[in-house]
Amino acid sequence: MSKKMDSIYEIAKIAKVSSATVSRVINGKEGVGDDTRKKILQILNDRNFKPSSDYSYNIMLISLDRLPKDEEGFRIYCNQRGISAGIFLNLSEEDIYILNYSNIIPIATVGTKLENSPFYSIKSENEQGGYDATKFLIDMGHENIAIMISKLNVQDHKERYEGYIRAHKEAGLTVKKELIFDYTSFTDNDVTFGLENLFDDSSVIPTAAFIVDDYEVLRLSSIFRTTNVSIPEDLSIIGFDDYYFAQHLNPPLTTVRQPLFELGHQAALAVLNEAIGGDFPIDHNIVLPTRLISRKSVKTPKK
């Protein structure tokens, strides 16, 4: 019986390096120290390693809070599980520690660009999308426009908020602080109480709302129903993302579409290309356009 050939992950485990580092050595790429390169080459020679021209990958979904925050801990974590690349979604300001992972495996962030980061960054035009959503409401005749944000500490939400501000300024409208509903750290009860106050006790009653995440539209719509706020008769709503369910809501949701498939495709292409030592040219900073999708959840305000 022939002996099973070592995989690139087994070589990495023996050498106590990442699989990406082994890949760089196999493909003659730069970015590996001389001593490390010599050690890997010796292991490859001793074990008569022959790289395969066929690549297969498994996909694992891992919660960020399960990952070690230090470089060596993350290196061990990846080696033990054969992880050769990573894609991180919707990072918050508190997740800056992932910069510690920069020398372990190829990494792409989706929706977030960390300052001074070596990672691939794939994003949508969040600020422009937020601007387009708010301008659409303004053009429909709305002046009291609420913005509802569940994660202001997440970069893409913050950029959508900045677009909301820009649209007001360009239209000569004042941004009313009473209409900025940031419930980042709220409990469900807090959210319900806050919305009830917004429509019952506020000195400024909104006629429209920009909700910066379609999933939050689902969550908040149930609260609107309990407070007898009818969409769009009492409150026009516009979301962001255009998830599969948006067109099936009642009423169908007007929203800003971001190219979800293309975001994932570009992120996977970037990290896999580096993991296998490919030569395909990939931009480290990719920004994809958004598009407003008009449906039935927005109408002109009551006179």
Domain closes at, from 11, 35, 54: 54
pLDDT average, residue stretch 35-59? 76
Q: How many C-beta neighbours within 10 Å does residue 215 have?
A: 14
Same domain for 137 and 225? yes
Q: Is the pLDDT of residue 151 over 80?
A: yes
CATH of the domain at 171: 3.40.50.2300
pLDDT (tens digit, 9 = 90+) per residue, 166-184? 999 999 999 999 999 988 8
- Section 280-296 average pLDDT: 90
Q: How many domains does one find in the chain?
A: 2
* 137 and 47 fall within a common domain: no
Note the pTM of the prediction, 2 decimals: 0.79
Q: Are residues 131 and 218 in the same domain?
A: yes
Residue 72 forms part of a structural domain: no
Share of the chain above pLDDT 90, in %: 43
Q: Within a domain: residue 169?
A: yes
- Residue 3's pLDDT is 43
Q: For the chain, what is the mean pLDDT? A: 87
CATH number at residue 21: 1.10.260.40
> What are 239-265's pLDDT values in tens digits?
999 999 999 999 999 999 999 999 999
* Residues 147 and 236 both lie in one domain: yes
Is the previous residue joined to 251 through a cis bond, with omega within 30 degrees of 0? yes
Instruction: Compute CA distances 261 → 57, 122, 268, 282, whole Å.
Output: 19, 12, 11, 17
In a domain, 73, yes or no: no
Is 185 contained in some domain? yes
**Could you tell me the end-to-end alpha-carbon distance of the chain, in angstroms, rounded to an integer?**
84
pLDDT value of residue 235: 94
Report pLDDT for 187. Answer: 81
Report pLDDT for 50. Answer: 66
Residue 87 near residue 271 (C-beta atoms within 8 A): yes
Does residue 50 sit in the same domain as residue 131? no
Average pLDDT estimate for 86-105: 87
**Within a domain: residue 43?**
yes
CB 186 within 8 A of CB 155: no
Beta strand 236-241 with 145-149 is: unpaired
* Pair (139, 46) in one structural domain: no
For residue 146, which of 189, 111, 194 has the smallest C-alpha distance? Answer: 194
- Reduced to 3 states, what is the DSSP secondary structure of residue 299? coil
Q: How does pLDDT run across 97-130, given as a tens digit for each residue?
A: 898 888 888 899 998 888 888 899 999 999 999 9
Residue 229 in contact with residue 206, Cβ under 8 Å? Answer: no
Whether 263 is covered by a domain: the verdict is no
Domain of 13, in residue numbers: 1-54
pLDDT given at position 82? 80
For residue 2, the model assigns a pLDDT of 34
Same domain membership, residue 224 and residue 144: yes
Residues 141 and 226 in one domain: yes
Q: Is residue 121 part of a domain?
A: no
Report the DSSP pairing between strands 107-110 and 86-89. parallel
Would residue 114 count as lying in a domain? no
Same domain, 130 and 48: no
Q: pLDDT tens, 53-74?
A: 555 666 778 888 889 999 889 8
Spatial CA neighbour of 134 closest among 182, 177, 170: 170
